[in-house]
Amino acid sequence: MLITAPFPGNVYGACELRNPSKRAQPAIVTVLGGGYCNTELRAMNEPRVFDYFDYVTLDAGETPLLALIEPCRTADRSSKLVRTFTRERHYVDYKNPTSPSPKPETPTYAAYH
C-alpha cells in the first residue's frame, strides 16, 4: 500500500488510512512518500513512524518503488533499497546504495514507441 503525504496536514490522515488496511491484512506492506517526506523527513531518526509504515521513501522517480518490489516478495526486505528509511530493531536506518541507479529517474516512455 503506497500512501503519499504532500503536506504536513496529510500525515495524520495517511496514518489513519493505513490502519484499516493493516487490520484487514496484517501482512500488507505499507510505504509513505511524497512532498512532506522529501522536505521534512530527510534526517528522520524517529522509529515510531514505523509503527505505522514499513518504509518511508524519498525523492521523485520510480527507482525507490521498483527497489521495494523484490525485497517485499522475499524474507530479505532491506538489502537493495534505494533512498528508503526502514526500522532496524529500535533504530531508523537509511538505505541508499552508492552505485548509480540503472533506471532513469523520470519516465522515458521509450517502450511505447
Contact (CB, 8 A) for 95 and 81: yes
pLDDT tens for each residue of 5-20: 999 999 999 989 888 8
Please determine, for residue 26, whether its predicted confidence score (pLDDT) is greater than 80. Answer: yes
Query: CB neighbours of 25 closer than 8 A, spacing ≥ 6?
Result: none
pLDDT tens for each residue of 61-109: 688 888 888 766 766 655 688 899 999 888 999 998 865 555 556 556 6
Positions of E strands within the chain: 2-4, 31-33, 55-57, 84-88, 91-95
Q: Cβ atoms within 10 A of the Cβ of 47, count?
A: 16
Contact (CB, 8 A) for 40 and 82: no
Tell me the C-alpha distance between 92 and 110, whole Å: 37
